[in-house]
Amino acid sequence: MMRNLIDRIASESGYPRKSYHGPSAPYDPDYVPSAPSVFGHNKNVHRALDTQTIVDEILSYVPHTLENSQGLYGESGDDVLACYKSFFHHQENWGIYFDVARMFDYVTHNSFGDDSSMILKVLHHERFHFLVEFLGAFLEPVTSGLVGNQIYDSYQRVNGSSPRLVEEAMCNAYALTRPYKSVNLRLKPKQIVSELAKICDKAPAGYRDYWQVCDPHGVPGSLAPHRQQISKDWFNNSVAIFFDGMVQSRTMIFTAFMNQVVVGSALHVRSLLLSEREFSRIPTYLVYPWSPQQGGMQFYTPKIKLARFYRFLESKYGVVYSEGSKHGKLHQPSTGKKRVGWKRKGSKADLLPYHIKQAATWLELPPDNLAKELEAF
């Protein structure tokens, strides 16, 4: 039996090491940190079980106050909107955390017609941070006798924890070379990437230097990035250089990526990168603010399973919940009202603020009123 999620991902990916010997990174889909040190204090944290939940929750968020995400993004980049907490250093509280309020404000101010792609871009960025740590654990020789993640810690010491400019550039380059499917038929995938790159250009050093590791025509120090030249092949070449430098504990500088061509880099990188299924194993959390006006979150969301929420709706409002092939359905026989609800998640999934907002809107009730009734149920 595998002791932790790192072993599980490695097994699915075909990595050779039989076991990760560092601190535990437990695989528990129901675990939610009670008081994680992330995005300041007084936060309400919920587990997101799939990517669609992340997108839905952020886009349906109703802010009480405006966030200064634009200024923060210009100063600190993607990691002020979401952050990756190391499995090596944070153990059971490891994973990706999204600041829902900042993300909503960030999407609102930078919208170009495909808001979901902006959220996915930040998710891809944080996933690459995980990949750096994950490969540090499994690139060590099996016979080295090292305990923990020596390669990753050595890489951190050599390159400094703040800022690791090349790693941030690699994270954005990875995000910009992923496939995007537009919900807006007028936008082609290349146009989406171009718009996302323009947003990256507003970020600080490192984050805005993505083109130096994915543009074969880039010139170090140039102030004019070649967005139209973003190349997945060149990024693969940079990945091979990056991880070689990680294993060798070399200082990462952008000039190392400019004129060095790694033979067979595409094949090599295919063995390094993880699939969507493997990346989806990373615990991902939605972090909500507390509202001083109401003494709590914008409305309190009990930490219960959806099954109990469905029982509440039926008992209080005569609403029957049923599941179709892809979506859950709400039906109120007394009024004849029907609605296709959220994406089917199963009754064992956690209740999220998104579910309360959707049900409240359908029932024509204030979300905070429905939440209070649910709490008393």
Same domain, yes or no, for 61 and 150? yes
Amino acid 185 reads: L
Helix (H) or strand (E) holding 169: helix 165-176
pLDDT of residue 76 exceeding 80: no
Domain for residue 196, yes or no? Answer: yes
Is 182 inside a domain boundary? Answer: yes
| For helices 115-138 and 165-176, angle between their N-to-C axes, nearest 10 degrees | 130
Determine, yes or no, domain membership for 138: yes
Give the end of a domain, one of 284, 311, 336: 284
173, burial (CB in 10 Å: exposed 0-12, middle 13-18, buried 19+): buried
> Which one, of 295, 293, 319, lies nearest residue 374 by Cα?
319
Q: Which of 259, 284, 309 is the last residue of a domain?
A: 284
Query: Are 222 and 310 found together in one domain?
Result: no
Q: Is residue 293 part of a domain?
A: no
pLDDT of res. 343: 62
Residue 353 is part of a domain; what is its CATH number? 3.30.920
199 located within any domain: yes
pLDDT for 96: 94
The C-alpha torsion from 112 through 117 and 121 to 122, rounded to 10°, is: 80
Q: Domain span at residue 200? A: 5-284
Residues 308 and 268 reside in one and the same domain: no
Claim to verify: residue 175 and residue 214 sit in the same structural domain: yes
The count of domains in the chain is: 2
Residue 48 confidence (pLDDT): 86
**Does 144 share its domain with 218?**
yes
Neighbouring C-beta atoms of residue 79, cutoff 10 Å: 20
Checking if the pLDDT of 74 tops 80, the result is no
Please confirm whether the linkage preceding 367 is cis (ω < 30° from 0): no
The answer as to whether 292 is a domain residue is: no
208, 184, 203: which is closest to 112 by C-alpha? 184
Does residue 23 carry a pLDDT above 60? no
Residues 233 and 344 in one domain: no
- Are 185 and 210 found together in one domain? yes
| Over residues 305-320, mean pLDDT | 87
Select from 225, 257, 284 the last residue of a domain: 284
Q: Are residues 10 and 129 in the same domain?
A: yes
Q: Band of the pLDDT at 97, cuts 50, 70, 90?
A: very high
Q: 262 and 327: one domain? A: no
Looking at residue 297, its pLDDT comes to 44
Report the pLDDT value the prediction gives residue 88, as an integer from 0 to 100: 78
- Same domain membership, residue 353 and residue 269: no
The torsion of the CA quartet 349, 351, 357, 359, rounded to 10 degrees, works out to 70
Please report the pLDDT score of residue 275 as a whole number: 83
Name the more confident of 263 and 338.
Answer: 338
Question: Does 154 lie in the same domain as 39?
Answer: yes
What's the whole-number mean pLDDT along residues 169-196?
A: 88
Looking at residue 128, its pLDDT comes to 95
Q: For the whole model, what pTM was predicted?
A: 0.75
Q: What pLDDT is recorded for position 57?
A: 84
Same domain flag for 152 and 183:
yes
Mean pLDDT of 209-227: 64
Question: Is it true that the peptide bond before 179 is cis, omega within 30 degrees of 0?
Answer: no
Which tens digit of pLDDT belongs to each residue from 125-170? 999 999 998 888 777 654 455 556 777 878 888 877 554 789 999 9
